[in-house]
């Protein structure tokens, strides 16, 4: 079979970091171990194809196998994606899986479209490193350059939409982030040696929707996954008018660039995946939407790794065993999550939700949708930055903190995106009057999905610490939580859940 690059695959560079020693990966490949699905990929030199380790094809001989940490690395070595196991359907590689902090933030920025309109130099500037150093970091930790990562993700999303949707080719090209239908056709033919139409015909039997409004996409994850528990957390904190939970389905009004619309998310039946229904009033790239949803619902998490780190702890091990599918609830809109954190100071969850609804009703823009409960978009930072504190339904200091935060986000002096260093953000937030350690930690946990954020001064956690552990104050709880790192956010959620 002919390679997409026209050359035989190169040997795996020893400098590239793999998720485990090669002998462990070989055992996982032979066992088709689902725990490794998405954590590495298998290139086969005799066919020129790369597969997921769970692929059900006849096992190739070991001497023909090469291991790669990412799909981009396998494609960079000259392999093309397997049409049977569909690498585009693999769960995402955990963000903490052996990568540096700079690379992890860079991968998130690429997911959000950082390389769609700018080059590697601009990406390096956002991360505070040179273009050359960023390329070196990516080659070592990811096995491919930033540009190749972006190209691979664009290609695999296009392949998923070809297989799973009935969209027109021009719509798929736009949604996957291609600049033109010509570049889309050329990339597909170059990699798969087939036309997009031929690929669609091969996978047409896989298209089966669940009845959500709009175009449906599947977002895979690693089991176990406590979808009901995550929905319960989100439902109690859903911003009225902007988002809602109905039964086992999450709904939200969104703005993506210039496009406005709705998202509907539910759990797929019989497979480890969420299904998202997407309605937008104009065409736009779906890559940022997929990235936000995966972060919001913590779909990159490896529950086996997190559970293994916490399950033997004398204080919380029994809680972890009782709920191994605990996920970290993120946020679609980081700014909205930050406002929620300020609103939630020293008030009940229900009280904070009511206040958020009043803010949206007064300052949010309306949206035309048929989904129940969705009427408005959350106000932009530029809108809240111009408010009179006296018009906000809360104490003046708290209202002033929201206005100051909004002004700094609008000006760019505070960034709530994937390039943000979590420690630096905590320090920046606490320079705003009315924002203390609790609020700063909540923002990094919900807005930036920091798995190690820990709200030691939270009233409930302090009550639990005193009643169960005998810790007299937040400082003592912080010392106890040191052994839960780097998963303190998950430990805190387990404690919260046990109290409720």
Residues recognised as catalytic: 51, 458
41 bridge partner residues = 68
Q: Which residues of 213-245 are buried (b: 16+ CB within 10 A; e: fewer)?
A: bebbbbbbbbeebbbebbbebbeebbbbbbbbb
Token couple for 13: 């560079």
Helix, strand counts (H, E) of the chain: 22, 11
**Three-state SS for 281?**
coil
Closest C-alpha among 249, 219, 465, 425 to residue 337: 425
Q: For 143, list phi and psi in degrees, rounded to 5.
A: 85, 10
Give the C-alpha distances (Å, rounded to integers) separating 264 from 33, 252, 253, 267: 32, 7, 9, 11
**Distant-in-sequence, close-in-space partners of 386: CB < 8 Å, separation ≥ 6:** none
Q: Which residue has the tokens 């954190």?
A: 341
Token couple for 169: 């080719």
Closest C-alpha among 57, 55, 54, 46 to residue 79: 46
Token couple for 237: 């904190």
277 bridge partner residues = 216, 264
Give the C-alpha distances (Å, rounded to integers) separating 482 from 206, 355, 442: 46, 35, 18
Q: For 98, list phi and psi in degrees, rounded to 5.
A: 85, 0
Closest C-alpha among 359, 360, 377 to residue 368: 377
Q: Are 307 and 228 in contact (CB under 8 A)?
A: no
Q: Which long-range contacts (CB under 8 A, 24 or more apart) does 391-394 make?
A: 391/362, 392/359, 393/355, 393/358, 393/359, 394/343, 394/355
**Three-state SS for 486?**
coil
Token couple for 493: 């959620």
Distance from C-alpha of 289 to C-alpha of 474, rounded to nearest angstrom = 37
Distance from C-alpha of 199 to C-alpha of 88, rounded to nearest angstrom = 13
């Amino acid at each position: 079979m002919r390679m997409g690059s026209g050359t035989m695959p190169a040997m795996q560079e020893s400098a590239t970091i793999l998720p485990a020693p090669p002998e462990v990966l070989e055992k996982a490949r032979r066992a088709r171990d689902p725990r490794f699905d998405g954590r590495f990929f298998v290139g086969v030199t005799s066919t020129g194809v790369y597969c997921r380790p769970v692929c059900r094809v006849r096992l190739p001989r070991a001497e023909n196998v090469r291991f790669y940490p990412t799909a981009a690395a396998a494609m960079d070595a000259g392999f093309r994606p397997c049409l049977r196991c569909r690498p585009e359907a693999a769960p995402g590689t955990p963000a903490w899986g052996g990568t540096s902090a700079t690379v992890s933030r860079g991968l998130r920025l690429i997911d959000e479209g950082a390389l769609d309109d700018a080059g590697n130099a601009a990406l390096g500037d956002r991360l505070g490193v040179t273009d050359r150093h960023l390329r070196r970091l990516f080659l070592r930790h990811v096995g491919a350059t930033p540009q190749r990562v972006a190209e691979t993700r664009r290609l695999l999303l296009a392949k998923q939409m070809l297989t799973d949707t009935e969209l027109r080719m021009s719509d798929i090209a736009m949604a996957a982030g291609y600049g033109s239908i010509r570049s889309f056709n050329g990339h597909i033919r170059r990699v798969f040696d087939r036309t997009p139409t031929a690929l669609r015909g091969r996978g047409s039997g896989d298209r089966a929707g669940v009845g959500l409004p709009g175009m449906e996409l599947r977002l895979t994850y690693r089991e176990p996954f406590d979808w009901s528990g995550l929905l319960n957390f989100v439902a109690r904190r859903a911003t009225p008018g902007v988002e809602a939970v109905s039964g086992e389905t999450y709904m939200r009004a969104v703005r993506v660039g210039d496009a406005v619309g709705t998202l509907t998310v539910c759990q797929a039946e019989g497979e480890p995946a969420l299904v998202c229904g997407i309605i937008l009033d104009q065409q736009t790239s779906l890559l940022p939407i997929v990235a936000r949803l995966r972060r919001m619902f913590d779909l990159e998490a490896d529950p086996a790794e997190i559970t293994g780190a916490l399950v033997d702890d004398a204080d919380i091990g029994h809680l972890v065993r009782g709920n191994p599918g605990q996920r970290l609830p993120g946020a679609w809109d980081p700014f909205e999550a930050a406002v929620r954190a300020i609103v939630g100071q020293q008030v009940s969850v229900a009280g904070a939700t009511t206040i958020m609804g009043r803010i949206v009703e007064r300052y949010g823009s309306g949206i035309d949708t048929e989904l129940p409960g969705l009427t408005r978009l959350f106000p932009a930072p530029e809108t809240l930055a111009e408010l009179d504190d006296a018009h906000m339904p809360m104490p003046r200091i708290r209202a002033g903190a929201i206005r100051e935060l909004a002004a700094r986000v609008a000006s760019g002096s505070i960034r709530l995106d994937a390039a943000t260093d979590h420690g630096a953000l905590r320090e920046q937030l606490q320079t705003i009057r009315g924002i203390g350690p609790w609020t700063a930690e909540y923002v990094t946990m919900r807005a930036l999905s920091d798995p190690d954020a820990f709200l030691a001064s939270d009233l409930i956690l302090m009550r639990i610490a005193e009643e169960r552990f005998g810790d007299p104050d937040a400082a003592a709880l912080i010392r106890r939580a040191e052994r839960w790192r780097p998963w303190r956010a998950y430990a805190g959620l387990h404690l919260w859940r046990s109290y409720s």
